[in-house]
Amino acid sequence: MRHLVVEACISRNLLDTSAYLWPGFVIVGTSQVPQGIAGSISCWSLVMKGSPLTPSLTNSLITTPASSLAEIEKMYEVATTGSEDEKIAAASILCGASLFRGWSIQEHVIIFIVTLLSPPAPADLSGSYSHLISSAPFLNVLLVGISPVDCVQIFSLHGVVPLLAGALMPICEAFGSGIPNVTWTLPTGEVISSHAVFSTAFTLLLRLWRFDHPPLDYVLGDVPPVGPQPSPEYLLLVRNCRLECFGKSPKDRMARRRFSKVIDISVEPIFMDSFPRLKQWYRQHQECMASILSELKTGSPVHHIVDSLLSMMFKKASKGGSQSLTPSSGSSSLSTSGVDDSSDQLKLPAWDILEAAPFVLDAALTACAHGSLSPRELATGLKILADFLPATLGTMVSYFSSEVTRGLWKPVSMNGTDWPSPAANLASVEQQIEKILAATGVDVPRLPADGISAATLPLPLAALVSLTITYKLEKATERFLVLVGPALDSLAAACPWPCMPIVTSLWTQKVKRWSDFLIFSASRTVFHHNSDAVIQLLRSCFTCTLGLTPTSQLCSYGGVGALLGHGFGSLYPGGISTAAPGILYIKVHRSIRDVMFLTEEILSLLMFSVKSIAARELPTEQAERLRKTKDGSRYGIGQVSLSLAMTRVKLAASLGASLVWISGGLNLVQALIKETLPSWFISVHGEEDELGGMVPMLRGYALAYFAILSSAFAWGVDSSSPASKRRPRVLWLHLEFLVSALEGKISLGCDWATWQAYVTGFVSLMVQCTPAWVLEVDVGVIKRLSKSLRQWNEEDLALALLCAGGLGTMGAATELIVETCHQL
């Protein structure tokens, strides 16, 4: 990471290239060049001098990242004004090493790619013909180039996903609406049709929102998700807002000066109404998730397409006679006998095929459930449909996930005869899952299988996993498997135990080199089904970070290093390396069914950790001496011990705030400030006055740091974040609670030392670290809080609070100063 930061600074002329070098650093002048080109001139230098894009030079440029914006601008110029072959070569170069490893110019490359995906329409264009069709080979190279599994993450890190979605939707609309009568031959010899371009663009678009999450995710837990869920409409809304507001803030103006001047991005808003076929498909997708399929009218165009697709998928199974496939939705019988499956009849627009696909899947799944189709024939037919139009994989994910959620299908036995069997390594997978959990301090009894045989899966899930394991792991299919893979993972995790170990076992049999990664991912399912495991993992996070378990080799030294470890990997022969609890929690926190209970658990663990810190850092004799003195100044050793204890308390509070923030975000932090903390102070905890009264004081300071840090994560320290708009209301409610308790209007159940330390600590941190918050609070509340602090002889803190309150509290601050001077 240090190298990436320095390289980015060098590219922006913030550092000289000679100021920082490290072993292996590649200077621009020694980049890779094609064989046969003498001298030290880099391949990018040859391009800048006007050399033609020969195959050897193109290959070198693909594998060598550009070093400057000017080189990327030159390649963009070729991609827009060159010949067809030059455009394709330039597209391949932009999607090569400059995108994946060009750290200093990556942000520019992705903007150029998004711009190239939206070529302007020619001035003489007329009729309904889309100008995008003529650019099919060029667009296909760009789409394939940005389809690898890591590429969406790159676009997301740079905040360009809404712009990318706005560029993909016109491509999907254009290539999905036409009949694939025309084909194009790429320089590599590959022949593509409009279906291929559509499928690549469509699957990439689906990966930009929560399409891979099954509907079950939206109904689990006591509290359903609140707020807009990512969707095509949401992505367009974000895109339009960002383009409308771009350039108005100082940060945007700095970015505009940094970006290339040759880019001309249209800022015109885009709406779903501009893409009628995409809008129609999305509406059908939502209906499929919400309810079973509606009845299919016999003789309708969709009915004929369903018949043709079924005939293509199961023509071998139907050679022996009429094969009647009847959907479970109650629609008419769809017979594959006597249907012409010629290529002319199957040359249909991609959107028409996607409209019929749910009915095809429903008919096939029903036939398999009734014994009309064998599981092997079902998997083969699904593979034929996916090969014919890879975009149907999105429909399969949507339909199968919805059907699993509805729970209408009986489980099938994964016995190795009808369906693939996980028996070869299922026990080993479960043992390794338990080993991963045990290494992080989580001891969970074997989860029940809900009364179902351990080797069974719901029929739709069995069909989906059987389909995925038929794929060969090669570059041509990777861009489609990265859509199905996360969906299969989410769906298996949401199903009863042990569905996830079964799916993991089947995939580890297919790809043994992925076994460690798959097993580690499967271990998160335990936390989805068992809340006690979540609490144990949180406890391990605290004990490791604070070094409270000296017997553990992983956590003996404490700190962030013990919390996060060295990531995950097969570092040791013969098994999986130990994973630190923090890394495991980062992986599993999204699998927790109900996050609202986490605030109370994290708060309880924080209080327990403070007690352990005090017992370790403040022995009883030193704590008694500190209690008898005001500040411990008479006992140097005790003062040092108290300082060390406070340092560890701050570390525990920062960990608790981080866990709350990553677990539930803004909503969970607001629940903490508005509900959890007030309830904790009101409740009676029955704690004894231990270690000379130092534990209650340390708990108060810990809660103050915990509250301030959690709030800062959620709202920010200033008003630049959109979430800061919620801050005044929540902060006012919390300070009103503090004032009311100080004035005796609310009875407290906690220790008085804890309450006093919390109030003084919270106000002090707010004044010193987040003074902008004080300006947002009602002046009357600030004056009442200052008055209560003066009654505690905290005149300095009361004055600092009034001074931070702005003009509205200047009068009260002046009165306090005058009164203090008179007392002196």
pLDDT-derived band at 325, boundaries 50, 70, 90: low
813 against 320, higher pLDDT: 813
3-state SS class at 477:
helix
Distance CA 798, CA 792 (A): 10
Distance CA 541, CA 539 (A): 5
Return the top range by mean pLDDT from 288-292, 436-440, 455-459.
455-459
Q: Are residues 604 and 697 in the same domain?
A: yes
Q: Is position 531 within any domain?
A: no
Say what percent of the chain tops pLDDT 90. 39
* Burial letters 311-329, b for 16+ CB under 10 A, else e: bbbbeebbeeeebebbbbb
Average pLDDT for the chain? 81
Residue 594's closest CA among 543, 535, 654? 535
Lowest mean pLDDT among 3-7, 483-487, 596-600, 699-703: 3-7
Counting Cβ atoms within 10 Å, is residue 122 exposed (0-12), middle (13-18) or buried (19+)?
exposed
Q: Are residues 191 and 83 in the same domain?
A: no
Strand 191-193 and strand 411-413: the pairing is: unpaired
Averaged pLDDT for residues 379-408: 92
Q: Give every CB contact of residue 103 below 8 A, 6+ residues apart in sequence.
A: 4, 7, 8, 65
Q: Is position 506 within any domain?
A: no
Question: Which of 84-89's residues contact partners 24+ apart within 8 Å by CB, and which partners?
Answer: 84/137, 84/138, 85/53, 85/187, 86/53, 87/138, 88/137, 88/138, 88/141, 88/186, 88/187, 89/53, 89/58, 89/187
Q: Are residues 159 and 304 in the same domain?
A: no
* Per-residue pLDDT, 602: 95
State which residues form the domain around 54.
Answer: 1-116
Residue 325 β-bridge partners: 334
State the residue for tokens 């306090």: 816
Q: Is position 428 within any domain?
A: no
* Per-residue pLDDT, 656: 96
Interval 25-49: pLDDT, tens: 444 433 444 444 433 358 888 888 8
Q: Give every CB contact of residue 559 below 8 A, 6+ residues apart in sequence.
A: 545, 547, 651
Q: Are residues 161 and 244 in the same domain?
A: yes
- Write down which residue in 366, 389, 412 finishes a domain: 389
Q: Are residues 285 and 325 in the same domain?
A: no
* Per-residue pLDDT, 375: 93
Say what percent of the chain tops pLDDT 70. 78
Q: Are residues 227 and 162 in the same domain?
A: yes
Q: Is the peptide bond before 498 cis (omega within 30 degrees of 0)?
A: yes
pLDDT-derived band at 558, boundaries 50, 70, 90: confident
Examine the pLDDT at 19 and tell me if it is beyond 60: no
Q: Are residues 682 and 672 in the same domain?
A: yes
Q: Are residues 610 and 743 in the same domain?
A: yes
Interval 171-221: pLDDT, tens: 999 999 988 888 999 888 889 999 999 999 999 999 988 665 654 444 343
Q: Is position 151 within any domain?
A: yes
Structure tokens at 709: 């840090």
Domain count for the chain: 4
- Write down which residue in 290, 306, 322 finishes a domain: 290
250 against 358, higher pLDDT: 358
Distance CA 314, CA 597 (A): 50
Q: Is position 27 within any domain?
A: yes
* Per-residue pLDDT, 779: 86
Structure tokens at 174: 């254009």
Residue 772's closest CA among 806, 799, 800, 742? 806
Give one DSSP letter per residue of 678-733, joined into a string.
HHHHHS-------GGGHHHHHHHHHHHHHHHHHHHHHH-SSS-SGGGGGHHHHHHH
Examine the pLDDT at 376 and tell me if it is beyond 70: yes
Interval 678-695: pLDDT, tens: 999 999 876 655 555 688
Distance CA 234, CA 214 (A): 18
Interval 481-536: pLDDT, tens: 888 888 888 888 888 888 999 999 999 998 888 888 888 888 888 888 888 899 99
Task: Answer yes or no: are the C-beta atoms of 556 and 549 closer than 8 Å.
Answer: yes
Examine the pLDDT at 677 and tell me if it is beyond 60: yes
Examine the pLDDT at 823 and tell me if it is beyond 70: no
* Per-residue pLDDT, 642: 77
Interval 592-603: pLDDT, tens: 877 888 999 999
Q: Are residues 645 and 771 in the same domain?
A: yes
- Backbone phi, psi, residue 372, to 5°: -75, -25
Interval 219-274: pLDDT, tens: 343 333 434 457 889 899 989 988 887 766 666 667 667 777 777 777 889 999 99
Averaged pLDDT for residues 527-547: 90
Q: Are residues 251 and 134 in the same domain?
A: yes
Distance CA 160, CA 690 (A): 55
Distance CA 241, CA 239 (A): 6
Q: Is position 262 within any domain?
A: yes
- Write down which residue in 777, 792, 809 finishes a domain: 777
Q: Is position 330 within any domain?
A: yes
Q: Are residues 612 and 651 in the same domain?
A: yes
Interval 448-460: pLDDT, tens: 555 445 689 999 9
Report yes or no on whether pTM surpasses 0.85.
no
CB neighbours of residue 797 within 10 Å: 19
* Per-residue pLDDT, 457: 92
* Per-residue pLDDT, 128: 67
Q: Are residues 223 and 340 in the same domain?
A: no
Q: Is position 437 within any domain?
A: no
Structure tokens at 369: 């459930």
* Per-residue pLDDT, 569: 52
